[in-house]
Amino acid sequence: MRNLDKILAIVWKDLLTEVRSRELVVGMLVFAMLTIVTFNFAFDLTGIERAPSGAGALWVAFIFASLLGLGRAVAMERDKGSFDGLLLVPVDRGMIYLGKLLGNVIFISAVQLVTIPVFGALFDLPVYQPMLFLILFLGTLGIAGLGTLFSIMAASTRAREVMLPVLLFPLALPVVISTVRATTLVLTDRTEALMQWINLLAAFDVIFLTISFLVFDRVVED
């Protein structure tokens, strides 16, 4: 219970900071929108391939926006040295990971909630489906799960902007594949193979959140 309150305190702090400074979500949102609009020129979005191309465009947009946001979130915390302040707190450092993760999930989800209706309108696809929101949540959890860990690692490397995508892209590939496939299936209303992908996504989330939680202490120590 005490740990839960501390996790929530970190989330509260991050949300309040973001509400006041608006440094993350607005930038991520504009970036995601621009990516989707740009993809409009790269793919033929009138034909039968609209759903798979659209699903791909959507997730590329979310992943790039997440990279932007994750990197920025840690940079803000590290630059002012306040990450050390967090490490001085009497709590299992895994809880700090969970707090930061939850904040990142909320930020990315906020971007998604605004992007999805726009995406649905631009690509003329049926986006208002509960299954799609489950996929969005699981995919976001996976990307943010590894992303939170790697963004903190990348922040103390030289070339930090390079290291985050170099680590996150190959290792989070299963999330990308399964979310894109699952999204395509939902958007084309083919649900037979859907559960297979959702299970893979859920398994990925469980495995990588657990590992990240366990190794976090070793990552943040000096």
Partner 1 sequence: MTKPQSPPETEEQSPVARIRATGLTKRYVMRTVLRGVDLEVDAGEAVVLFGANGAGKTTLLRVLSTLTRPQKGSLEINGLDSEAEAITVRGQLGVLAHQPYVYDSLTARENLQFFSRMFEVPDADDRIQRVLGDVELLERADDQVGTFSRGMLQRIALARSILHRPSILLFDEPDTGLDVASVKVLERILNEHCADGGALLMTTHDLEFGIRVASRVLVMDGGRIALDRDANEIVPAEVESIMGAPGA
Partner 2 sequence: MSPDGRFGGSATGKILAIGTGVTMLIAIYMMFLYAPQDTMQGPVQRVFYLHLPLAWIAYLAFFIVFVASIAYLIKRNRRWDQLARSSAEVGLVFTTLVIITGSIWGRPIWGTFWEWDARLTTTLILWFIYLGYFMVRAYVSDQERAMRYAAVVGIIGFIDVPIIHMSVRWWRTLHPEPIVTQSGGPAMPDSMLYTLGVSLVAFTLFFGYLVYQKLLIEQAKDQVADHNLAVADREADEAREHSAKGATA
Residues 10-39: x/- map of binding to partner 1 (CB under 8 A)? x-xx--xx--xx------------------
Residue (8 or 203) nearer to partner 2, CB: 203
Name which of 3, 128, 111, 25 is nearest 76 in CA terms: 25
Q: Confirm if 141 and 205 have CB atoms less than 8 A apart.
A: yes
**Secondary structure (3-state) at 166:** helix
Other residues' Cβ atoms within 10 Å of the Cβ of residue 199: 12
- Integer Cα distance of 172 and 62 in angstroms: 13
Q: Residue 91 binds which one of partner 2, partner 1, none, with CB within 5 to 8 A depending on kind? A: partner 1
Q: Residue 121 binds which one of partner 2, partner 1, none, with CB within 5 to 8 A depending on kind? A: none
- Integer Cα distance of 124 and 57 in angstroms: 14
Q: Confirm if 69 and 27 have CB atoms less than 8 A apart.
A: yes
- Integer Cα distance of 57 and 38 in angstroms: 9
Q: Residue 166 binds which one of partner 1, partner 2, none, with CB within 5 to 8 A depending on kind? A: partner 2
Q: Residue 80 binds which one of partner 1, partner 2, none, with CB within 5 to 8 A depending on kind? A: partner 1
DSSP 8-state secondary structure symbol assigned to residue 190: -
Under the rule (CB under 8 A), what is the footprint of partner 2? 146, 149, 153, 156-159, 162-163, 166-167, 169-171, 173-174, 177-178, 181, 193, 196-197, 200, 203-204, 207-208, 211-212, 215, 218-219, 221-222
Binding segment toward partner 1, per CB under 8 A, in 37-45, 82-90, 111-119, 166-174: 82-90
Count of residues in contact with partner 1, rule CB under 8 A? 25
Buried/exposed code over 13-27 (b: 16+ C-beta within 10 A; e: otherwise): ebeebbeeeeebbee
Residue (134 or 219) nearer to partner 2, CB: 219
Backbone angles phi, psi at 189, to 5 degrees: 60, 35
What does the block give as tokens for 132?
Answer: 């799609």
Q: Shortest approach of partner 1 to residue 155 CB, angstroms?
A: 15
Per CB under 8 A, 192 contacts partner 1: no
Q: Which residues make up the interface to partner 1 (CB under 8 A)?
A: 2, 5-6, 9-10, 12-13, 16-17, 20-21, 80-82, 84-92, 221-222
